[in-house]
Amino acid sequence: MSKSSDKALNILRALPRVCLANIRDNPGSKQRCRRGRGQHGGDKHGDGNKGSGQRQNFMRLGYETGNNPFYLRFPQEKYYKGHHLRRQYPPLSMLTLQTLIDTNRIDTSKPIDLVSILNTGLYKLYPDQHQFGVHLTDEGADIFNAKINLEVQWANELVIAAIERAGGVITTSYYDPHSLQAMINTVKFFQKGVPIPRRMMPPPDAIEYYSDPSNRGYLADPDKISEERLALAQKYGYNLPKIEEDNNYDMLMERKDPRQIFYGLHPGWVVNLKDKVILKPKEEELLQYYAS
C-alpha cells in the first residue's frame, strides 16, 4: 500500500462515521430555483440566445408566425357553439344510486329528490358552472331493484323503464340556479334567515322536455303520464306494478308543486333552526307572490 493511501486511511479512522447528519447531496443533483446574477449563472441564465426561448414569449397554440393558421384555413361547422352557456346535468349512474340505497345513504321510505342525493355528500353540484341537476344514466339499469319515488332533472327512456319496472315512480323536474343554491346546503340556507324562494318556470328551450309525459316531466298531464307508463311497459315487455294497490301509495304519489323546492315547505316561509319554528307570511301581496 502506498504512503498516501495509508495516510488517507489513517485520517479516515480519526474522522466521524458517515451518518445522516454529515452527508450532503451530490453536486448538481439539486436544481436551484433562483435565477443567478453575474458569476452565479448570469449572462443568459441558461435560456439560450434570442427568440421565444430567451424572451419567454411563447406563441399561442396553433400560431404559425404570420401564416393563416391551419385551424382557421378551412370553413367549419360550429357544433359546440355556445357550449359554455348550455345547461349541464352531471351524471349519476343507476348503479351508484343502487349502491347509495344499499349502503343506507338514501332513505327509500321517503321521496328521493335532489336534496336527498346532495345530502349524502357523495354527489356535488355547482350551479355557478351551469350545472342544473342530476342526469340519471342507465349504467346498472339491469340490476336496479328499489321501489322509490324519484325526482331527477334528466333521464332517458331506459332509466324510466328500469325505475317503473321495479315498482317506483320517476319525475323529471327543473330547478333554477337560485333554488339549486338553496338545496345544496339546506342548513346554511336556513341559517341565512331568508324566505324559501319560489321555483322558477323552465326556460323556453327546456319547457318542452319538462312538459312531455314520455319524459315524466313535472309539468305534464298526470293522466297522460299514466298512459305513457303503460305504453313503456308494453314496449320493454314487463308487467307494470300497480302502485294504486301498493302499501306505500301515499309516499309514491307525493309530488312537489311546480313552485315548490322542498317537500312540505311552501315558498315564502322562513325556517328558524335555532328556535325550531317556521315563520309564515300573512300579507296578501306576499301570499299572492308566492302562490302557485
Partner 1 sequence: MFIIPKLRTLSNRLPALIPSSVSIQSRNSSFKSSLFLEDVGKINTPYEVTKDPIDWSYVERVLPLKTVPPPIKKDSYPSGWKPQSDELADRPYFIKRTKNHMLPCYLHITQRGIKRTTLLKNIEGNIWLLEKELKEFLQPQVFQILRSQVNEFVGYIRINGDHVNAVKYFLEQKGNYITKNVSCY
What does the alpha-carbon distance between residue 230 and residue 114 come to, in Å, rounded to a whole number?
Answer: 26
Residue 34 beta carbon to partner 1: minimum distance, rounded to whole angstroms: 27
Provide CB contacts within 8 A for 29, sequence distance 6+.
Answer: none
Q: Which helix (H) or strand (E) holds 271?
A: strand 270-272
34 binds partner 1 (CB under 8 A): no
Among 68-76, 157-165, 235-243, 278-286, which window interacts with partner 1 (CB under 8 A)? 278-286
What does the alpha-carbon distance between residue 269 and residue 278 come to, in Å, rounded to a whole number?
Answer: 7
Q: Which of 87, 88, 90, 119 binds partner 1 (CB under 8 A)?
A: 119
Residue 264 beta carbon to partner 1: minimum distance, rounded to whole angstroms: 3
Side chain identity, residue 7: K
Residue 14 beta carbon to partner 1: minimum distance, rounded to whole angstroms: 37
In degrees and rounded to multiples of 5, residue 68 shows phi and psi of: -70, 115
Binding mask 130-149 for partner 1 (x = CB under 8 A): ----------x--xxxx---
SS3 of residue 169 by DSSP? strand
Q: Which of 6, 43, 64, 102 binds partner 1 (CB under 8 A)?
A: 102
Residue 125 C-alpha cell reads as 353540484
9 binds partner 1 (CB under 8 A): no
Residue 148 beta carbon to partner 1: minimum distance, rounded to whole angstroms: 13
Q: Which of 90, 115, 158, 233 binds partner 1 (CB under 8 A)?
A: 115
What does the alpha-carbon distance between residue 48 and residue 45 come to, in Å, rounded to a whole number?
Answer: 8
Among 52-60, 184-192, 207-215, 244-252, which window interacts with partner 1 (CB under 8 A)? 184-192
Here the contacts of 277-286 (C-beta below 8 Å, separation 24 or greater) are 281/195
- Of 97 and 160, nearer to partner 1 (C-beta) is 97
- Of 135 and 220, nearer to partner 1 (C-beta) is 135
Q: CA 127 from chain center: how many Å?
A: 9
Axis-axis angle for helices 157-165, 222-236 (nearest 10): 90
The binding site for partner 1 (CB under 8 A) comprises: 93, 95-96, 98-99, 101-105, 110, 115-116, 119, 121-122, 140, 143-146, 186-187, 190, 262-265, 270-271, 273, 276-283, 286
